[in-house]
Chain A
Amino acid sequence: MNANRLDNGASGAPSNLVEVRDLHFRMGERDIYKGVDIDIARGRITAIMGPSGTGKTTLLRLISGQWRAASGQVHFDDAEVSRLSQRELFNQRKRMGMLFQSGALLTDLSVFDNIAFPLREHTRLPERLIRDIVLMKLEAVGLRGARNLAPAQLSGGMARRVALARAIALDPEMIMYDEPFAGQDPISMGVLLRLIRRLNDVLGLTSIVVSHDVKETLGIADYVYVISDGEVIDHGTPAHIQASESEWVQQFVHAAPDGPVPFHFAGSPYTADLLQEGQR
């Protein structure tokens, strides 16, 4: 499976911030990745799509070094993530932000303190300056007025926006979004879509969006990888994915209930099952 069509350097296309090569990863008895190659170009929004359980979140954890691959390589800015010491890994993570599906806000801290948390941990800025930075980040996500609320008082969409403000608190180079649209109402979804695009462009970030929300993700992504069964099924621009000749991609993009991914879970024939008595 080979790489992206975005070349490095010579063609004028952006270089890659993340490069995944021949990645293998197992979870228990199950192969999550069977040798995938993925490139994340600088300054762009790259979407990783695929049905639930295909290992999209796992990929983010491998890129961030939370988990280590069985074999293969994950490079972040030319450094192989699995070979970094904890100190080096933590230094790399200061250059990354991650928006968890759950928001992962610290529940014993207010919205303000959640965003101030990484600043207080990693900088020696005076409190007055920290306050200004926090208010700027909250203003960017439209929640400056909610700074004194506790995470339990936030709606799902607001919690994700606060988590996004926290993810950009240290001005990272890259943000990873784990299912940012899951369970969002249309208004929250619209807000999040606009924020992801705007933050990427205004701050010059590199973004990885992991999602199975086809329409929304294709609407903001610059490049898309579609993953299933441990392999990259197709990759390209959103237009390329929508016009893909792969039956699997077509079923996924058009949300068809039946196709290469069957509607029915594998089992014995229906009629034979009905005629059998005394068994569950």
Chain B
Amino acid sequence: MSTAQRTFVTATGWMAELGRSTLFLLRVLASLPRLVTKPRLVIEQIYSVGVLSLVIVVVAGVFVGMVLALSGYRLLVDFAAEQALGTSVALVVVRELGPVVTGLLFAGRAGSALAAEIGLMKATDQLSGMEMMAVDPVKRIVAPRFLASMITLPLLTSIFCVMAIGAGGGYFVGVEMLGVDAGSYWSGIQSNVDFGQDIVNVFLKSGVFGAIIAWVALYQGYHASPTSEGVSRATTNTVVIASLAILGANLMLTAVLFGSH
């Protein structure tokens, strides 16, 4: 087989996989309205993918905020503009690092767990067992996890941003350690971070990232080979594909949401 033929076969394979995963996504989306009558299923998953990811998000937020304040201060102090530290930390965190870093952490922590859980359920015939009990696993198992991820990631991102900007992260390094004026720090944030432009968009971005991660993880788990190797591959694929998809989607969303300003 020539290189051109191999490339063609690989490309058509990817297209077919994309088509299958899109059909899977449509099945999941069609199942979401039914969850109105079963909110408990979603709440359980919010705990599983959200609350259990909280520690990692809080710790990462604090460290990222500290680093941003430290490096931002070194840059700004040369221009005697250290009073803009709060603004620079807040805008970088809210517009880019918050959604992206939280998304990457979520893909590693919750995405891999979802793929492994669904893959193992398949390997141990739990999904087939459900089908035999006339229960659709997409409606009962997949859809609640998808919706929970979409709800949870924006909330986790908000917490990440607060930790990065606030008393534990950027504020601690900038104000408490490096001596930036506390009033300048907060007033800069207050006057430059726009609710409609920045806060709404951060929720929008992280909601999209939550959907992407859940889509990748659930598809990989649901279609994993029912072997230990298959589950392992599904988990790895989830982290790799979801991470790259987040970075790509972030570029597009940033261009759309902030490109004209």
Contact = CB atoms under 8 A, between A and B. Distances in A.
Partners in one complex: yes
B179 to A, nearest CB: 52
A96 B124 contact: no
A40 B134 CA distance: 22
Contacts of B134: 90-91, 93-94, 118, 121-122
A203 interface: no
A107 B129 contact: no
B129 A100 contact: yes
Contacts of A166: 133
Contacts, number: 51
A66 interface: yes
Interface residues of B, number: 14
A118 B128 contact: no
Interface string A53-95: 0000000000010100000000000000000001000110110
Interface residues of A, number: 25
Nearest to A170: B133
Nearest to A169: B133
A164 interface: no
A191 interface: no
Contacts of B125: 100-104
A248 interface: no
28 contacts: A64-B132, A66-B132, A86-B136, A91-B134, A93-B131, A93-B133, A93-B134, A94-B134, A98-B132, A100-B129, A100-B132, A101-B125, A102-B125, A103-B125, A104-B124, A105-B126, A105-B129, A106-B126, A106-B130, A107-B121, A117-B133, A118-B134, A118-B135, A121-B133, A121-B135, A122-B134, A163-B129, A170-B133
A244 to B, nearest CB: 33
Interface in B120-147: 121, 124-126, 128-136, 140
A265 B132 CA distance: 37
A104 B129 contact: yes
Nearest to A121: B135
B126 A93 contact: no
B131 A66 contact: yes
B133 A66 contact: no
A123 B63 CA distance: 51
